[in-house]
Amino acid sequence: MAQRGNLLETDSPTIILVVGVNGVGKTTTIGKLSAQLKGQGKNVLIAAADTFRAAAIDQVKTWGTRANVEVVSHSEGADPAAVTYDAIQAAKARNTDVLIIDTAGRLHNKANLMKELEKISRIIEREYPEAKRENLLVLDATTGQNAILQAKTFNEATNLTGFILTKLDGDSQGRSRHRPPKGIKCSY
């Protein structure tokens, strides 16, 4: 199991299920995480299980290309659990170290969407029980008290193992408050 706070030192095989509400930066986080894991010599595969948002599959494929990581996808509107199933089979066949599953953003107060996450979790448990599991909730750092309700609800559906905070470098209007000094590369 990964040490808390250091996901990059994860055991193989590992499945990382990434969940959260719309617009928090799940797909961007997946792209950055994929690049970091790939840079450490890990064999990474991404499952494009966000089949509902327009252009979501294309967006995750773009991040996969940037990180030199393969992406398993179906067509828009396909069953996310089916994408997850196919990605697990591909990960096993390719001896993948880390499978990262991109899920559709969903409102935490929509029961049918949370049931879909539970279904994805059941597929993972049934098809790859020997894989280490990370269920990560991505939260916009400017969310406030609503983050507590999100965490409780997503935990009920997926048994969360960690959180990722995004947008720490901006204010509530989306303006950047921090610029790294010239020549310094930041990966946040």
pLDDT of residue 1: 36
- For strands 44-49 and 14-19, give the pairing: unpaired
Query: Residue 121: its pLDDT value, please?
Result: 94
Is the pLDDT assigned to residue 46 strictly greater than 70? yes
Task: Report pLDDT for 37.
Answer: 95
Residue 186 reports pLDDT greater than 70: no
* Structural domains present in the chain: 10-166 (3.40.50.300)
Other Cβ atoms closer than 10 A to 170: 15
**What local confidence, expressed as pLDDT, does residue 4 receive?**
47
Q: If pLDDT is split at 50, 70 and 90, which confidence band does 11 have?
A: confident
pLDDT score of 99 = 98
Q: Picking from 40-44, 86-90, 153-157, 173-177, which range would have the lowest pLDDT averaged per residue?
A: 173-177
Q: What is the mean pLDDT of residues 88-100?
A: 97
Query: Does the bond joining 181 to the residue before it have cis omega, within 30 degrees of 0?
Result: no
Give the phi and the psi of residue 101 in degrees, each rounded to 5.
-105, 115
137, pLDDT greater than 70: yes
pLDDT beyond 70 at 6: no
